[in-house]
Amino acid sequence: MKYTVKKKKSNKISYLPLDPQPPVGNILVLHRYYAKHSSGEQYEKRVSWLSGGSSIAIYEYKGVYPPLKPHSYIRMHPKEMQNAKSDTKFKKAGDIYLSGDSFEGPTNKRQIYNAKARAKHQGQEHAHKANFADEVAAVEELQHTMSFVRLIIRQSQKSPCIILYTEDQLNDVKRFCCPPLSGDSTVLGIDKTFNLVTITVYKCISVKRKRADDFPIFCGPIFLHGNSDRETFFLFLHHLSGNLGGCAQCPVLGSDEEKALRQAMSLAFPKYPRLACAQLLKKNLKHALADKVRYATTAETETRSADFLHLLVLLLYLTVT
């Protein structure tokens, strides 16, 4: 291999060998790397270095640096981010943005707003969590700090279940639904009011409303669940059965025609009497037959329709009980 010199003459390029040829040990090879900015070709970079184990390189920039696009985002330096979080308590976002370093500081006011929101979020005790796992962890923490959260059940392929009640609620259920044999009792109603909530209710027979001349309805233990199958309901009812098992009198349970709920009641309370709510059965039956039964508007036909519905309710009550 010969070392040559590049020359151009009359628009022709020629390579003339050096005479004499230099020794191989005296040759230094210069390497260069060229690149253009993605936002504009008018801004170029050239890197030069020598082979042979040298750790020195020269970076050269040519042209004008292109301005940032509106959607461009550059991460703030961690130190500048911490300073911005501290300043948000005393300064406005615009003042922090203008006073920041041009290279390591915030590139727009949105970064200041986000830092302020995160600082405020971290200071809130019951703030919204980042994901579902954080929500579950927060609920499990409440089980150790709040007596209202009694039990948290997690199952594979199912949503977590939560049983909520206080000691006073459970004592009232035992007092009014499971009294001694000589005392008066009331029905313990179990109803799934929403797709995620099942509540128990009972009448407080120690007081009476003067205007309505009836006992007020109180809320008992509450069950939060994401599934409405028999196994899920059984978890709640089995927990209640274990807490009511030592009472002198068995409670009378009441519910609507929810099939999965009634099956779970049969498993959790096999020897307890069960009732069906005639009002709920009548309401559900009326909605189910709304498209099949034509209701008239006269008083006589309305009375007949009501009698017909009442008869069907009685038949259903005898069937489910």
Residue 257 near residue 281 (C-beta atoms within 8 A): yes
Q: What is the mean pLDDT of residues 289-311?
A: 53
Render pLDDT for 47-83 as a digit per residue (tens, 0 to 9): 998 887 678 899 999 988 877 665 555 666 677 667 6
Render pLDDT for 164-213 as a digit per residue (tens, 0 to 9): 999 999 989 888 888 776 667 888 888 887 778 999 999 988 888 888 88
Comparison of pLDDT for 144 and 80, the residue scoring more: 144
Alpha helices in 60-166 (DSSP H): 78-87, 93-99, 109-122, 132-145
HSE-CB for 116 with a 13 A CA cutoff = 16
pTM of the full structure: 0.50
| 260, pLDDT greater than 60 | yes
Highest mean pLDDT among 101-105, 120-124, 200-204: 200-204
- Give the whole-angstrom CA distance, residue 41 versus residue 35: 9
| 255, pLDDT greater than 90 | no
Residue 15: Cβ within 10 Å count: 10
Q: Which H/E stretch holds residue 280?
A: helix 278-288
Terminal C-alpha separation, the chain: 105
Residue 298, pLDDT score: 46
Helix (H, G, I), strand (E, B) or coil at 277: coil
Comparison of pLDDT for 256 and 88, the residue scoring more: 256
HSE-CB for 2 with a 13 A CA cutoff = 10
- Give the whole-angstrom CA distance, residue 114 versus residue 81: 10
For the chain, the structural domain boundaries read 4-62, 78-119, 135-276, 282-321
Average pLDDT, the chain: 77
Sign (positive or negative) of CA dihedral 165, 167, 169, 170 = positive
Task: Give the number of residues written for the chain.
Answer: 321
Alpha helices in 67-131 (DSSP H): 78-87, 93-99, 109-122
Residue 158 carries which side chain, given as an amino acid letter?
K
Q: How far is CA 129 from CA 73, 112, 124, 125, 197, in A?
A: 25, 21, 11, 11, 22
- Give the whole-angstrom CA distance, residue 54 versus residue 37: 27
